């Protein structure tokens, strides 16, 4: 379609003839104008209206315009276009151009605009407007899929739709690779999860199918075998499965016993049974050790029942060693003959005193004792005396602990020790005021301390279950406190540690006889513990026992001291602080056990 320009107005046909007139009019314009001015000025503005034929009122000819080779009369208009062609009618932009005295308004230069629809371009192919093309969403699709298409129409240079590909191909199904073997799509192969299973198990196959390049399942092995049975290792020797070996639970047995065997069978790497030794021997008979001496098994040696003998001979015993065990019980390799008592003397001759305990202080032998020092006294107190002669009379007896003044009914049985720090500690039996001392459960052990062995602190209870105290120091410096149970009379040992006041342990003493009122002393020079104890049976006497550990005691001399003629009771012994050849004890002729005197005796052992 083409749009063209046109002129408008009644003078369009007179344009050419008027040209000459206009040119003629222009040649005499100077004169006419002068006349016109004169006439106008003379006649005013209404002159030409009233005199149109007047030469001065004749107007000059109008000038036309030219547009694309056509004349446009003055005052006439023409339709003009921005471009000579366009893709659509809307794109043909127009404007009206009017001629005014030879000047054409507007700027558009084309007299016509032809509508020419634009073509479309699709993948290098030109698609005419109004035509269509088949397009695809993708150029390829996976195997098993389908190509998706659409029809795209070209309209004035605009292509409908959005798919961008002019062709589409469906991919073929991919094959699979399994252990170097190609498996076609849809085909299967037998696979195994392991290449070998243990003996006794079964290979488990599975079918793996190829689907477009991917195999189902997980087995990565093309074959599987069952392993043979595993062998066993026993003491460095390989035992085949099904084979057996003789084993022993121990590598050696004691003399006199028999090695016990067991058959261990290998089954796929596991040995039955539990014997871990490949051989077993019977040990030689063990020797015996006593007092640092070795006695071969089968040999016999003579030992002594006691380290000393109070008389003309020492009792012996032949002990035979049998595979580490000695017959009999004698344990001493030697025996010392001890003479009988050679001297005794009265040390304290007062109203009723007993339970001595002796110390050396600045070279002076000091005796502590308990009882009734004066006639008429009924409360036990503790006293101190000096003894210039070891077994002679002791002098200057003085009251140390007044039971009533300290709130007690009785204080007795003192046992005094010198401590490593230079102080002194005394253990004693105490009965609180108002209680009867004849009731054993009312008797307890107390302790008191002193810096000078003269002035003592108030007694403090340390053991509520024993009485009749005796204390000594063991080789390690610990205080060992002995006493009789206030319930059943059994002899008990307390370990009170190096400070003498802490209960570390309590042990029942192993003694061959029942002893009371004991005096226990550790003798470093002999390496043994000694007990002088009161045997309460009939006849009454004081026995002498020894022990290597302070717990297990052996009788050495029964009846080392017996009552003098006319006396009925000996009791409460105490040894000299530096020699076991001298000890002290209480003795009375009173059947009621009062009127005790303290005696000293030297019996020959140094």
Listed residue (436, 391, 437) closest to 413, CA to CA: 437
Whether the CB-CB separation of 551 and 545 falls below 8 Å is answered with no
What phi, psi does 219 have (nearest 5°)? -65, 130
Whether the CB-CB separation of 413 and 467 falls below 8 Å is answered with yes
Q: Rounded to an integer, what distance in angstroms lies between the CA atom of residue 519 and that of residue 530?
A: 8
Q: Where would I find the beta strands (DSSP E) of 408-477?
A: 408-418, 424-432, 444-450, 460-463, 466-473
Residue 603 has pLDDT above 90, yes or no: no
Average pLDDT over residues 334-363: 79
Question: What is the pTM (predicted TM-score) of this model?
Answer: 0.50
Q: What is the pLDDT of residue 152?
A: 94
Cis status of the peptide bond prior to 34, with omega within 30 of 0:
no
Positive or negative, the Cα torsion across 304, 305, 307, 308? Answer: negative
Whether the CB-CB separation of 190 and 205 falls below 8 Å is answered with yes
Positive or negative, the Cα torsion across 452, 458, 459, 461? Answer: negative
**Domain architecture of the chain: domains with CATH:** 12-115 (no CATH), 120-170 (no CATH), 176-226 (no CATH), 232-282 (no CATH), 288-338 (no CATH), 343-602 (2.115.10.20)
Residue partners of 45: CB distance under 8 A and separation at least 6: none
Average pLDDT over residues 328-337: 84
* Cα 139–chain centre separation: 65
Residue 292 has pLDDT above 80, yes or no: yes
Q: What is the pLDDT of residue 564?
A: 85
Q: What is the pLDDT of residue 311?
A: 54
Q: Rounded to an integer, what distance in angstroms lies between the CA atom of residue 551 and that of residue 573?
A: 19
Burial class (CB in 10 A: 0-12, 13-18, 19+), 495: middle
Listed residue (399, 385, 398, 459) closest to 425, CA to CA: 459
At 175-210, the pLDDT tens digits run 999 999 999 999 999 999 999 999 889 999 999 999
Q: Rounded to an integer, what distance in angstroms lies between the CA atom of residue 78 and that of residue 10?
A: 15
Q: What is the pLDDT of residue 605?
A: 46
Whether the CB-CB separation of 411 and 401 falls below 8 Å is answered with yes
Q: What is the mean pLDDT of the chain?
A: 86
Cα-only R_g, the chain:
73
Q: What is the pLDDT of residue 153?
A: 94
CA separation, residue 478 to residues 110, 358, 494, 500 (Å)? 138, 19, 10, 7
Residue partners of 27: CB distance under 8 A and separation at least 6: none
Average pLDDT over residues 302-311: 77
Largest CA distance in the chain: 210
Q: What is the pLDDT of residue 340?
A: 53
Query: Tokens 């000293």 correspond to what residue?
Result: 600
Length of the chain in terms of residues written:
606
SS (H, E, C) 543-579: EEEEECCCCECEEEEEEEECCCCCCCEEEEEEECCCC
Q: Rounded to an integer, what distance in angstroms lies between the CA atom of residue 132 and that of residue 177?
A: 45
At 440, is the secondary structure helix, strand, or coil?
helix
* Cα 268–chain centre separation: 39
Average pLDDT over residues 10-18: 35
Residue 452 has pLDDT above 80, yes or no: yes
Q: What is the pLDDT of residue 560?
A: 84
Residue 601 has pLDDT above 60, yes or no: yes
Q: What is the pLDDT of residue 27?
A: 41
Q: Rounded to an integer, what distance in angstroms lies between the CA atom of residue 401 and that of residue 459?
A: 9
Q: Rounded to an integer, what distance in angstroms lies between the CA atom of residue 598 and that of residue 427?
A: 19
Q: What is the pLDDT of residue 415?
A: 97
Average pLDDT over residues 92-100: 93
Residue 556 has pLDDT above 70, yes or no: yes
At 294-303, the pLDDT tens digits run 999 999 999 9
Q: Rounded to an integer, what distance in angstroms lies between the CA atom of residue 551 and that of residue 463?
A: 19
DSSP letter for 60, please.
P
Q: What is the pLDDT of residue 56?
A: 65
Token couple for 320: 């035979």
HSE-up (13 A, CA, CB side) for residue 534? 24
Angle between helices 15-27 and 29-43 (to 10 degrees): 80
Token couple for 210: 């190829």
Q: Rounded to an integer, what distance in angstroms lies between the CA atom of residue 159 and that of residue 173?
A: 35
């Amino acid at each position: 379609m083409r749009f063209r320009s046109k002129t408008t107005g009644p003078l369009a046909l007179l344009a050419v003839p008027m040209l000459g007139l206009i040119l003629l009019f222009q040649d005499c314009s100077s004169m006419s104008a002068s006349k016109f001015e004169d006439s106008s000025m003379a006649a005013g503005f209404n002159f030409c209206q009233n005199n149109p034929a007047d030469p001065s009122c004749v107007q000059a000819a109008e000038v036309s315009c030219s547009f694309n080779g056509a004349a446009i009369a003055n005052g006439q208009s023409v339709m003009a276009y921005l471009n000579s062609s366009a893709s659509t009618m809307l794109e043909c932009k127009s404007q009206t151009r009017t001629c005014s005295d030879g000047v054409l308004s507007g700027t558009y230069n084309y007299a016509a605009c032809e509508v020419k629809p634009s073509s479309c371009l699709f993948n290098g192919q030109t698609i005419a407007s109004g035509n269509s093309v088949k397009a695809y969403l993708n150029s390829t699709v996976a195997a098993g899929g389908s190509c998706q298409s659409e029809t795209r129409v070209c309209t004035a240079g605009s292509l409908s739709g959005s798919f961008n590909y002019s062709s589409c191909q469906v991919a073929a199904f991919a094959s699979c690779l399994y252990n170097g073997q190609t498996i076609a799509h849809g085909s299967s192969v037998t696979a195994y999860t392991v290449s070998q299973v243990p003996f006794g198990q079964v290979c488990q196959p599975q079918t793996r199918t190829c689907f477009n390049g991917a195999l189902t399942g997980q087995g990565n092995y093309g074959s599987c075998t069952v392993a043979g049975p595993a062998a066993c290792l026993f003491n460095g020797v390989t035992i085949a499965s099904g084979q057996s070996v003789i084993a022993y639970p121990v590598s050696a047995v004691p003399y006199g016993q028999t090695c016990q065997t067991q058959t261990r069978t290998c089954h796929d790497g596991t040995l039955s049974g539990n014997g871990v030794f490949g051989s077993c021997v019977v040990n030689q008979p063990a020797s015996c050790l006593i007092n640092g001496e070795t006695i071969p098994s089968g040999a016999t040696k003579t030992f002594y029942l006691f380290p000393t003998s109070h008389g003309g001979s020492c009792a012996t015993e032949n002990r035979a060693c049998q595979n580490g065990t000695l017959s009999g019980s004698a344990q001493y390799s030697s025996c010392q003959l001890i003479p009988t008592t050679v001297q005794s003397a009265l040390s304290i001759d007062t109203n009723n005193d007993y339970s001595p305990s002796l110390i050396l202080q600045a070279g002076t032998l000091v005796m502590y004792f308990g009882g009734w020092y004066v006639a008429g006294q009924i409360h036990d107190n503790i006293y101190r005396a000096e003894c210039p002669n070891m077994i002679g009379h002791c002098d200057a007896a003085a009251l140390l602990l007044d039971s009533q003044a300290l709130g007690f009914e009785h204080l007795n049985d003192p046992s005094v020790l010198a401590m490593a720090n230079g102080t002194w500690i005394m253990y004693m039996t105490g009965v609180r005021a108002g209680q009867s001392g004849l009731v054993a459960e009312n008797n307890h052990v107390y302790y008191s301390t002193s810096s000078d062995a003269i002035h003592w602190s108030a007694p403090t209870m340390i053991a509520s279950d024993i009485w009749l105290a005796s204390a000594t120091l063991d080789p390690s410096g610990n205080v060992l406190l002995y006493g009789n149970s206030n319930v059943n009379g059994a002899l008990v040992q307390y370990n009170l540690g190096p400070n003498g006041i802490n209960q570390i342990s309590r042990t029942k003493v192993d003694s061959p006889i029942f002893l009371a009122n004991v005096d226990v002393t550790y003798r470093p020079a002999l390496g043994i513990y000694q007990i002088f104890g009161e045997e309460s049976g009939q006849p009454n006497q004081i026995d002498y026992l020894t022990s290597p550990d302070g717990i297990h005691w052996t009788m050495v001399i029964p009846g080392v001291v017996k009552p003098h003629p006319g006396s009925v009771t000996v009791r409460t012994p105490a040894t000299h602080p530096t020699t076991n050849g001298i000890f002290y004890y209480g003795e009375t002729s009173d059947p009621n056990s009062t009127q005790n005197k303290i005696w000293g005796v030297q019996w020959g052992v140094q």
